[in-house]
Amino acid sequence: MANSDPGSIQVIDRLTALLEAIARHRDPVSLKVLAADTGLHPSTAFRILAAATENGLVAREGTGYRLGIRLLQLGSRVASHQDLRRAARPLMEALRDGIGETVNLTVRQGDEVVYLDRALPERMMRVEQRIGSRAPLHVTAVGKLMLGEAGEAACRDYARRTGLPGYTRYSFTDEEELVQHVSGCLRSGFAYDDEEAETGVGCIGVLVHDDAGNIVAGLSISAPIERRREEWVERLKDAGRELELRLG
């Protein structure tokens, strides 16, 4: 039998699955668990992990495995949007210091937003998105704006394609309502996320454009819903505008 999918190498798929599996766990993971999680034969998992360890992608801690420091290096070198992150960072930190809540930088990738960077406040209860993690467009403030700018047709397309899965009881799951809501957000130049992705979490988002008017990124504030304040909208918009200037 030939390759099931040309453009796919078994070992690389398996390696990725293993890395993912390790990443899902907080503490070092045993071979057995990893083999079970990925459905690989322990012996196979072992050999792949050993090779990955050789290459620093994985490290051993006692008898278990954790992600290797080389991934830190590679992660920090992901050049994609590097300029963007660099330009945004000080603005994000300033905004975070001003309001005392988490500030996120996101970009669109397919039907999701990806968290590129964030600035975390120094307080016990805060909202924290992991860098590199994803969320569907229709349950995030920035994502809804992106849907809005893409136009009604594209938004409806998205709705049908994804089926608008609900995450909380506040998520939009109806195409008509979403389209309606999204165009409203677009007009006001910002969007709220009212516990649509996770109960108790509220966001405010704005878009960042380049000179040509294309969407470059989204900037958002995430906070426990009861701490969120109206006034932040203007500050967030200012930060967005400032970022556009710095990129232009």
Partner DNA sequence: GCGTAATATTCCGCAATACGCAATCGATTT
Partner DNA sequence: AAATCGATTGCGTATTGCGGAATATTACGC
Residues that bind its own copies (CB under 8 A): 5, 7-9, 11-13, 15-16, 19, 23, 26-28, 47-48, 50-52, 54-57, 59, 61, 66-80, 89-90, 93, 109, 114, 116, 120, 122, 130-133
| Minimum distance, C-beta of residue 41 to DNA, in the bound complex (Å) | 4
Decide if 35 contacts 41 (C-beta within 8 A): yes
Q: Which residue type sits at 120?
A: L
Q: 14 or 209, CB closer to DNA?
A: 14
| Minimum distance, C-beta of residue 189 to its own copies, in the bound complex (Å) | 27
Q: Does 32 help bind DNA (rule: CB under 7 A)?
A: yes
Helix/strand/coil (H/E/C) assignment for every residue in the chain: CCCCCCCCCHHHHHHHHHHHHHHHCCCCECHHHHHHHHCCCHHHHHHHHHHHHHCCCEEEECCEEEECHHHHHHHHCCCCCHHHHHHHHHHHHHHHHHHCCEEEEEEEECCEEEEEEEECCCCCCCCCCCCCCEEEHHHCHHHHHHHHHHCHHHHHHHHHHHCCCCCCCCCCCCHHHHHHHHHHHHHHCCEEEECCCCCCEEEEEEEEECCCCCEEEEEEEEEEHHHCCCCHHHHHHHHHHHHHHHHC
**Judged by CB under 7 A, how many residues of this single chain contact DNA?**
26
Sole binder of DNA in the list 25, 56, 64, 173 (CB under 7 A):
64
Q: 37 or 194, CB closer to its own copies?
A: 37
Nearest by Cα to 41 from 50, 29, 31, 52: 31
Q: Report what 2 binds from its own copies, DNA, none; CB cut-off 5-8 Å by kind.
A: DNA
Q: 77 or 187, CB closer to its own copies?
A: 77
Decide if 42 contacts 29 (C-beta within 8 A): no
Q: Does 154 help bind DNA (rule: CB under 7 A)?
A: no
| Minimum distance, C-beta of residue 61 to DNA, in the bound complex (Å) | 11
Q: Report what 180 binds from its own copies, DNA, none; CB cut-off 5-8 Å by kind.
A: none
Q: 46 or 167, CB closer to DNA?
A: 46
Q: Does 7 help bind DNA (rule: CB under 7 A)?
A: yes
| Minimum distance, C-beta of residue 54 to DNA, in the bound complex (Å) | 12
Q: 50 or 154, CB closer to DNA?
A: 50
Q: List contacts with DNA (CB under 7 A).
A: 1-3, 6-12, 14, 30-32, 35, 40-44, 46-48, 50, 63-64
